[in-house]
Chains A and B, each alone.
Chain A
Amino acid sequence: MTVQEVRLCGLLLQQHFGNVVEKVGTHLIRSGVLTLRALAYETKLPLDLVKKSLCVLVQHGMCTFGAGRRGPAGPVEYRINCESIIHMLRYPRYIYTAKSLYGDTGELIVEEILQRGQMTMSSTVRTVADRLTNNMPEGQSMDYSEVVSAFSRLVETHFLQRCPPLASAGSSSSTLDTPLPAATQPTEPESHPDCYKLPYINLTGQGKRRRSSEGGEADQRAAKKARTDNSECGDDGIHWQVNFQRFHLHFRDQAIISAVSCKLDQSSSEIVRTMLRMSEVTTPAHAAFTQALSSNEIFRALQSSYNIARPNLDQYLSLLVDDPMEFVGKTGDSGGGMYVVNLHRALANLARATLESVVQERFGSRSARIFRLLLRKRHLEQKQVEDFAMIPAKEAKDMLYTLLSENLVQLQEIPKTPDYAPSRTFYLYTVNQLPTARLLLQHCYKTVCNLIERRLYETKENKRLLEKSQRIEAILASLQATEAEAAQLTEVEEMITVPERQQLESLRHHINKLDSSENQVDESIFLLESYIKSTQASR
């Protein structure tokens, strides 16, 4: 765990779960694996607080536990999963994707499960139905069956999955058939055969609207009676969690499609979209390319709204294959031509484009030209760089040294003689894509940390003003509820002076900008992380 990752995890934990969980979490990240007692002793927090924090972390899937070094008889050891903490940065994107695919119901389901970590199907359905009912106009209510159908669609497309079962509960079991998995190997959720099987629950009814106090006795009694049959739905112990990997595959596909549409045109991106959709369920998660699809199959699967005729399809496919970005490759000639989408190569190209744009925006277009040259030609001497890039010697030297000092470019020495005499050694400049991508990823983490800290600082500076405005809003809301006159309302509104109002406005603008930047940096983080993971998977 790098310094920046630990810092980012700490800030995210503090934002969502408070200082106590942050302290426990960062200490556990730094120490690796610890038992409960050791953790309580080292953080000097009361044991109960440590227990509560660990419960929160386990509930959200950020902490795993297992038998320790002393085997099943010894104390349980805990370790933190840093990746899932950093995923918290991406929660708005997951929720927005669910909304665009499955509408408001899907959005609320994913939001509830993300906020609570794990939930059973019945409690999710109830909560979401109640929330939807509250937003609907008076008299209407959301039926449970609609929510259940949205839930099942999410499970069928693998966006939600069952939480992996534990081999045995905790450390207190004495006779075990299967040994408790060691803390180093958590059970993969996909290894469970029923991972995506929906339980049969008999849950009928409609969402309850949260009524105000004058609502009525009958409603409260009905609410109480409904809750007494909480555990009768038949799905106790089956908890569902969000399948982050599936969302990541979806984001990766989206990135590839938008890259194709930028580079070529809309129709070719539709063809690539069709190809990716056809191989969604058949392609394993870390595959380098999709299943081979024949041109006939693609033609049949194309939606008629795209209006692509058969010969045009073949032309588009050959264009895609010939494109230097190599998104699509041809693997055979049967069935009109067998085509695959090169996933890993596409990711590498997208990462390369990110690196190039970073250099361009920071150092100018001529430095970017040098950078691209070095990426393409691998190793070049200083003289060759100046010639190929067509940049005067002095400026080229300057730019090269700037890039070198930022570690974006490396120097490789090739000696002619055993003593590394400078006059008799070749000095070659080179760019390695993978280490540079890792460097930029750490820069991205540092950027997000800085953005969060700046936002906290801005909020702290203007705390008094923010509290005042919240109080005034509350007064206004209560006055409006009791239908006060306009004169009273304006009087209350004038309690905030004009310069204070301006200050509030600029504060809001800054905080929105900082939040928006976090979301945008997260997109780069996703691309670079996927690229790095894909190179590791192919090793």
Chain B
Amino acid sequence: MAGSRGRGRTQFSFSVDALGFGRGDSLPSTAHTPSPLFPPMQFRPVPLHAGEEVDYMLALKQELRASSKNLPFHIKAARTKTDVARYSDKYQNGEPKNNCIEWSPDWSRMPKELCIKVRKPRKTVIGAKPQLTRKPKVAAGKEEVLQKLETLEKREEEQHSEEEEDEEKKKQNEEEEEPDADEEYDEEEIEDETDYIMSYFDNGEDFGADSDDNMDEAVY
């Protein structure tokens, strides 16, 4: 603002050549549009590293991403059924439920308020189970209950060893279950105290929606 005002002369306070353009040069044209989203780059980027190490880490990264989707830590919200409530809803057990957790953390390391029911994994048994020892329906989750189940399970193991021969004769297609104390708990048969085995019931919703894989395994 201050500048020596010569009498009758106007003088700018900075010399013009310090600005970077001369007297006669035109100023750069005004921009009428926003700058482009991907402006053309002046210099091409350097190519990526290549080599065995890089390939291995790439494969590791992709594997980790794929396998983390199958772990119980990947939480999906339970679908809220918007249409008519169906009778089969009671017996559909494959969907995740909001109020149970699919893995069993060490509750002593977590605050008490986070404790929720631990969900027992559903065994997909195909074929008749010979021994249907009806255990009393137990409330799931808390540690005291787990201990009770452990004692029950030990009692059942004695029965189990007696009925080994029966088991060997029937064909079973059991998947490996998690190492929980009450693994003998026949959830699918005892739940809601029906006489029907859950896997026998199919309300036809999945017909046609299945993919074509695994056609060699019979599904009832």
Cα distance A515–B18 in the bound complex, in angstroms: 47
Q: Which of B61, B65, B73, B76 has the most CB of A within 10 A?
A: B73
B109 contacts A163, C-beta separation under 8 Å: yes
B112 contacts A92, C-beta separation under 8 Å: no
Q: Besides A91-B61, A217-B172, A474-B211, 19 other CB < 8 A contacts?
A: A15-B65, A18-B76, A54-B114, A55-B110, A55-B116, A65-B111, A96-B60, A115-B64, A171-B113, A237-B108, A394-B20, A397-B20, A419-B1, A421-B1, A422-B13, A471-B212, A474-B212, A513-B48, A515-B62
B57 within 8 Å of A (CB atoms): yes
Cα distance A48–B102 in the bound complex, in angstroms: 12
**9-residue interface stretch from B38-46, B129-137, B188-196, B198-206:** B38-46
Residue of B46, B64, B105 touching A55 (CB-CB under 8 A) = B105
Q: How far apart are A217's CB and chain B's nearest CB, in angstroms? A: 5
Residue of B75, B101, B112, B153 touching A170 (CB-CB under 8 A) = B112
Q: How far apart are B52's CB and chain A's nearest CB, in angstroms? A: 11
Kindly list chain A residues whose C-beta atoms are within 8 Å of the C-beta of B155.
Answer: none
- Top-3 shortest CB links A-B: A474-B213, A170-B112, A227-B179
Q: How far apart are A282's CB and chain B's nearest CB, in angstroms? A: 30
Closest to B59 in A: A92
Q: How far apart are B18's CB and chain A's nearest CB, in angstroms? A: 8
Residue of A20, A116, A227 touching B77 (CB-CB under 8 A) = A20
A52 contacts B116, C-beta separation under 8 Å: yes
What's the count of A-B pairs with C-beta under 8 Å? 173
Q: How far apart are B119's CB and chain A's nearest CB, in angstroms? A: 11
Q: How far apart are B144's CB and chain A's nearest CB, in angstroms? A: 15
Kindly list chain B residues whose C-beta atoms are within 8 Å of the C-beta of A520.
Answer: 48-49
**A contacts with B, residue count (CB < 8 A):** 80
Residue of B20, B46, B58, B60 touching A512 (CB-CB under 8 A) = B58
Contact residues of B between 169 and 220, Cβ < 8 Å to A? 172-174, 176, 179, 183, 211-216
Q: Which of B3, B45, B106, B116 has the most CB of A within 10 A?
A: B106
Kindly list chain B residues whose C-beta atoms are within 8 Å of the C-beta of A237.
Answer: 106, 108
A230 within 8 Å of B (CB atoms): yes
Cα distance A86–B153 in the bound complex, in angstroms: 44
Cα distance A516–B108 in the bound complex, in angstroms: 40
Which residues of B pack against A, CB within 8 Å? 1-3, 13-15, 18, 20, 42-43, 45-46, 48-49, 53-54, 56-58, 60-62, 64-65, 67-68, 71, 73-77, 98-99, 101, 105-106, 108-114, 116, 153, 157, 164, 167-168, 172-174, 176, 179, 183, 211-216
A16 within 8 Å of B (CB atoms): yes
Cα distance A46–B79 in the bound complex, in angstroms: 12
Binary interface profile of A, 418-458, with partner B (CB < 8 Å = 1, else 0)? 01011100000000000000000000000000000000000
Residue of B71, B176, B213, B216 touching A223 (CB-CB under 8 A) = B176
Binary interface profile of A, 217-247, with partner B (CB < 8 Å = 1, else 0)? 1001101100110100000010100000000
Cα distance A169–B53 in the bound complex, in angstroms: 43
Kindly list chain B residues whose C-beta atoms are within 8 Å of the C-beta of A481.
Answer: 216
A76 contacts B13, C-beta separation under 8 Å: no
Kindly list chain A residues whose C-beta atoms are within 8 Å of the C-beta of B1.
Answer: 419, 421
A49 contacts B98, C-beta separation under 8 Å: yes
Q: How far apart are B41's CB and chain A's nearest CB, in angstroms? A: 8
* A51-B114, A423-B13, A515-B61 known; A56 vs B212 contact (CB < 8 Å): no
Q: How far apart are A98's CB and chain B's nearest CB, in angstroms? A: 11
B45 contacts A361, C-beta separation under 8 Å: yes
A478 within 8 Å of B (CB atoms): yes
B57 contacts A93, C-beta separation under 8 Å: yes
Cα distance A115–B168 in the bound complex, in angstroms: 37
Closest to A482 in B: B216
Q: How far apart are B12's CB and chain A's nearest CB, in angstroms? A: 9
A401 within 8 Å of B (CB atoms): yes
A361 contacts B46, C-beta separation under 8 Å: yes
B68 contacts A17, C-beta separation under 8 Å: yes
Kindly list chain B residues whose C-beta atoms are within 8 Å of the C-beta of A224.
Answer: 183
* A49-B98, A422-B13, A516-B58 known; A220 vs B174 contact (CB < 8 Å): yes
* A421-B3, A513-B48 known; A519 vs B114 contact (CB < 8 Å): no
* A48-B99, A520-B49 known; A59 vs B73 contact (CB < 8 Å): yes
Residue of A95, A213, A239, A475 touching B109 (CB-CB under 8 A) = A239
A373 within 8 Å of B (CB atoms): no
Residue of A49, A170, A421, A515 touching B13 (CB-CB under 8 A) = A421
Q: How far apart are B169's CB and chain A's nearest CB, in angstroms? A: 10
Q: How far apart are A247's CB and chain B's nearest CB, in angstroms? A: 14
Kindly list chain A residues whose C-beta atoms are within 8 Å of the C-beta of B101.
Answer: 51-52, 55
A517 within 8 Å of B (CB atoms): yes
Cα distance A328–B187 in the bound complex, in angstroms: 67
Q: How far apart are B54's CB and chain A's nearest CB, in angstroms? A: 6
Cα distance A475–B111 in the bound complex, in angstroms: 47
* A237-B108, A422-B14 known; A48 vs B116 contact (CB < 8 Å): yes
Residue of B46, B113, B216 touching A76 (CB-CB under 8 A) = B113
Q: How far apart are B104's CB and chain A's nearest CB, in angstroms? A: 10
Cα distance A315–B42 in the bound complex, in angstroms: 45
